[in-house]
Amino acid sequence: MPDNPNHVALARAYQAATDWIDGYATRPVGATIGAAELRRRMRVPLQREPMDAAQIIDDLVAMTEGGLHGSAGGRFFAWVMGGALPSALAADWLTTAWDQNGALYTTSPAAAIVEEVAGEWLLDVLDLPRDASFALTTGCQLAHFTGLAAARHAVLQRHGWDEHLDGLSGAPRIRVLASEHHHGSVDRAVRFLGIGARNIESLETDRMGCIAASTLAHALEKYSGPTIVVLDAADLNIAAFDDCSVLVPIAQAVGAWVHVDGAFGLFARASATKRALLNGVELADSWAMDAHKWLNVPFDCGISVVRDRAAHRAAMTLTASYITAPEDTRNQIDWNPEWSRRARGFPVYAALRELGRDGLGDLIDRTCAHCEAIVTGIGAMPGAETVWVSQLNQGLVRFLDTRPGAEAADHDRRTDRVIAAVNAGGEAFFSGTTWQGRRAMRVSVVNWRTSDDDVSRTLAAVRQALAAAAG
Ligand SMILES: *Cc1c(COP(=O)(O)O)cnc(C)c1O
């Protein structure tokens, strides 16, 4: 059926997608055009008549040219952005073509069962309690929301309050203790949940970026009301792991709920060489992770895991006459904040199968080694300095203003200038951060695609940008 509009539009999309992937080797990694040019191209008048589907796809491909980042390619090290494994990408396409509503077993039996199995596999490879409940959310942000909603319900219940029925006005104040390095998505989840940003207390960390036992114990002593402790596994600047084997028992002994931000770091449980960094993480009460980072599933997919199934279900479930499930099946709506939703289980299931247990461990080890090679390689260049060689896959470097008398602010400016020069060069792409009051360049490696050759090309590009900046 050559003129079936579905076939033609999908065929054009297939061609554009494979061209895009082939272009990772040669195209500039970062976008080369900005808002003004994109608006000029895309702000066409919305016409009155319908338009041909294939033409729309062709136009989108032309209009976005230069406006997309090669973030799923092998030389993109900004933020923490995963790539897409081949089977996960293809399964994600099928998910769209099948267009299932992943809310209930009855709205898509296959979507419900694939998600059930993907959840079992995740608990297994992450080595979390096998009887914990889970949800596949849009990302770690909503995984925090889900886990902390369960936490809020449990800690208020222990103090004789039901916020589901009575709301939060008049409820005992909930206090949240979190590392000074906690991710902004934790603050947002706390805000969404009506706990209030003022009730987050940031705890000082030690030289290694971790909360000390005495710091946590002291903070817990100050308040005997409902308390939630958020621990990092790991933070995104230096991949600092709070020591769960020590901290979780201290918090739980006084009735606090422990939630772990393991957006990418929890996947290190799958590596035989790295898993000791996460000793005791399995003792926590809830965990939030991302599939779209280290598992290399296309955006978007997060993972919420909760030990107390009853609290998790109570926080998310609802009753409506048409929401039923045959015995022994799982309605995703009982565990997720969404109602209608994408069938996120298909790409997660595909990625786990494509890698296998050993392959997931290899991916973790390989990306960590690439991160170390980039950080130490740049750190050894004249005019550069290693700030943090990571034990995992996040490291920091900075660039120095070598003029006599240069001060910290000059080094900061130089660092931002070199980052911009590397990104403008098109061979690699990095983001900056402020670490202990100083600017630094983050090196974040999570992509399955990054190869030894990508590492060499990246080091050459940084060397060149540095030389140009010095000249
Ligand atoms: C990425 C990240 C988040 C937020 O995850 P999203 O998937 O973007 O919602 C939270 N915490 C850490 C440590 C992260 O790296």
326-358 tens-digit pLDDT: 889 999 999 999 999 999 999 999 999 999 999
Nearest to 289 by CA among 435, 175, 185: 185
> What pLDDT does 92 receive?
98
1: pLDDT strictly greater than 80:
no
Amino acid at 189: A
How far apart, in whole angstroms, are the C-alpha atoms of residue 448 and residue 363?
6
| Distance in angstroms between the alpha carbons of the first and the last residue of the chain | 61
Is there an atom of ligand 1 within 6 Å of 261 CB? yes
- Gap from CA of 170 to ligand 1 centroid (Å): 32
Amino acid at 313: R
Mutate to test the pocket of ligand 1, among 185, 188, 235, 281 (most ligand atoms within 8 A of CB): 185
- Gap from CA of 144 to ligand 1 centroid (Å): 9
* CB-based contacts of 356, cutoff 8 Å, min separation 6: none
405: pLDDT strictly greater than 60:
yes
> What pLDDT does 282 receive?
98
Reported confidence tier of residue 471, pLDDT bands at 50, 70, 90:
low
- Gap from CA of 140 to ligand 1 centroid (Å): 5
- Give the lowest-confidence range in 40-44, 176-180, 246-250, 323-327: 323-327
Residue nearest to atom 4 of ligand 1 (CA): 140
How far apart, in whole angstroms, are the C-alpha atoms of residue 129 and residue 186?
23
Residue nearest to atom 5 of ligand 1 (CA): 140
422: pLDDT strictly greater than 70:
yes
Residue 290 CA: which ligand 1 atom is closest? 7
> What pLDDT does 168 receive?
97
Reported confidence tier of residue 2, pLDDT bands at 50, 70, 90:
low
Determine what percent of the chain is predicted with pLDDT higher than 70. Answer: 99
How far apart, in whole angstroms, are the C-alpha atoms of residue 388 and residue 398?
10
Reported confidence tier of residue 200, pLDDT bands at 50, 70, 90:
very high
Mutate to test the pocket of ligand 1, among 266, 289, 290, 392 (most ligand atoms within 8 A of CB): 290
- Gap from CA of 404 to ligand 1 centroid (Å): 40
- Gap from CA of 89 to ligand 1 centroid (Å): 21
Is there an atom of ligand 1 within 6 Å of 414 CB? no
Residue nearest to atom 14 of ligand 1 (CA): 263
> Which structure tokens are listed for 183?
């991710």
Is there an atom of ligand 1 within 6 Å of 189 CB? no
Average of per-residue pLDDT values in the chain: 96
Determine what percent of the chain is predicted with pLDDT higher than 90. Answer: 96
- Gap from CA of 444 to ligand 1 centroid (Å): 13
Residue nearest to atom 12 of ligand 1 (CA): 263
